[in-house]
Amino acid sequence: MSYKRALYNTKWDLCYSKENPWEVVCIDGDSMIFKYMIDYIKEDFIRNNIWNMIGVNLCSTKTLSKRLIEDIIKYSCGKLERDIKKITENGMKYVLVLGKGFIEEKRRTMDNYRKKREESYSEMETFKNIFDKNLEEKLVKSINKYVCSERDRIRDGVKKIIDISFEEHEEPDIYCPAHYKGIMSYDYDLFLFGAKDIIREIDEGKITFLSIDSLLEKLDLNEWEQLIKISILCGTDYNEGERNMTFAKAKIIVNSDPYSDLINKEALNFFIGRWL
């Protein structure tokens, strides 16, 4: 989504564990697992030499995809356990939250992932039979797309083997901000639902985080509601945006006319109505 792309370069803040204001850290498991999935493709999968793994006509796409999903599930469990260890080592408690489906407003996004599954599966079937280094980038993209389409299956796989207690809620994006101040996540959508602080990483006593107040200041916005309206115009996981809408263009519209007819009122109520 374009509103998220505009936030990717936002500089995050830093504090030390002895200064942290969070007694309990809520872990948005769905977001963290999605990040682990992408990391695995970018780092471990490539580092282990995808061409040796796939070979030339040595394994079917079905075998490859099954092994890939199993490896990512194990990798994600390991990463979750390491992140939780860092939280507890810094004197904080944790609550791990995992989704158990998706709400109607998010169905469109998940349907798009599923539509890409067959396309990416076919691409993998084609590329694995061609021993050509020039196709490596295309193959990685297809594998990445396939893995994203399987995110629900990966999350459910993690639930089955992880040796950590967790809570299940239909939509962690909505549940976590309503119940916890500090949330460990890579998903900016949490800010749209009222998150106060998002923690990205805890390492060697240093905590990388971003508060909603700091984010608004960095974006030169005065109110949380402005961020909501700009995001709605650009499009989120929960609503379609306006065609060819950029963050900069949306910001101009919201600043000049906060009640513009372009702002989807149903989406606005979806994000803000629960707090009014």
- pLDDT average, residue stretch 123-149: 71
Q: Is the pLDDT of residue 276 over 50?
A: no
- pLDDT average, residue stretch 53-60: 50
Q: In the chain, which ranges are continuous DSSP H helix? A: 2-7, 29-39, 46-47, 50-54, 61-89, 107-127, 136-149, 151-161, 172-179, 189-192, 212-218, 224-234, 247-256, 265-272
pLDDT of residue 144: 83
Reported for 200-204, long-range contacts at CB under 8 A and 24+ positions apart, including other chains, are 200/12, 202/17, 202/83, 202/86, 202/87, 202/90, 203/86
Q: Where in the chain is the domain with CATH 1.10.150?
A: 221-275
How do residues 20-40 score in pLDDT, each as one tens digit?
889 999 999 999 999 999 999
Q: Rounded mean pLDDT of the chain? A: 85
What is the band of 52 on the pLDDT scale with cuts at 50, 70, 90?
low
What whole-number percentage of the chain has pLDDT above 70?
85
The reply to whether CATH 1.20.140 applies to domain 221-275 is: no
Beta-carbon neighbour count of residue 240 at 10 Å? Answer: 11
Q: How far apart are the first and last CA of the chain?
A: 26
Among candidates 233, 77, 68, which has minimal Cα distance to 159?
77
| Residue of 132 and 160 predicted with greater confidence | 160
Beta-carbon neighbour count of residue 211 at 10 Å? Answer: 18
Integer Cα distance of 240 and 262 in angstroms: 12
For residue 101, the 8-state DSSP code is S
pLDDT of residue 160: 96
pLDDT of residue 221: 95
Q: Is the pLDDT of residue 49 over 90?
A: no
What pTM does this model have? Answer: 0.85
Integer Cα distance of 122 and 65 in angstroms: 12
What is the band of 58 on the pLDDT scale with cuts at 50, 70, 90?
very low
- What Å distances lie between residue 77 and 1, 37, 70, 189, CA to CA? 27, 11, 11, 23
Sheet with 206-211, side-by-side order of all strands: 13-16, 206-211, 197-203, 182-184, 24-28, 93-99, 167-169
pLDDT of residue 128: 58
Reading the block at residue 180, the tokens are: 């916890």
Strand, helix or coil at 219?
Answer: coil
Integer Cα distance of 88 and 172 in angstroms: 22
Reported for 218-224, long-range contacts at CB under 8 A and 24+ positions apart, including other chains, are 218/10, 218/11, 219/7, 219/10, 219/251, 221/251, 224/191, 224/194
Among candidates 34, 10, 76, which has minimal Cα distance to 209?
10
| Residue of 20 and 86 predicted with greater confidence | 86
How do residues 134-146 score in pLDDT, each as one tens digit?
666 777 778 888 8
Integer Cα distance of 154 and 72 in angstroms: 7
Q: Is 233 exposed, middle or buried (0-12, 13-18, 19+ CB in 10 A)?
A: buried
Beta-carbon neighbour count of residue 168 at 10 Å? Answer: 14
| 45-49, 53-57, 134-138, 168-172: segment of lowest average pLDDT | 53-57
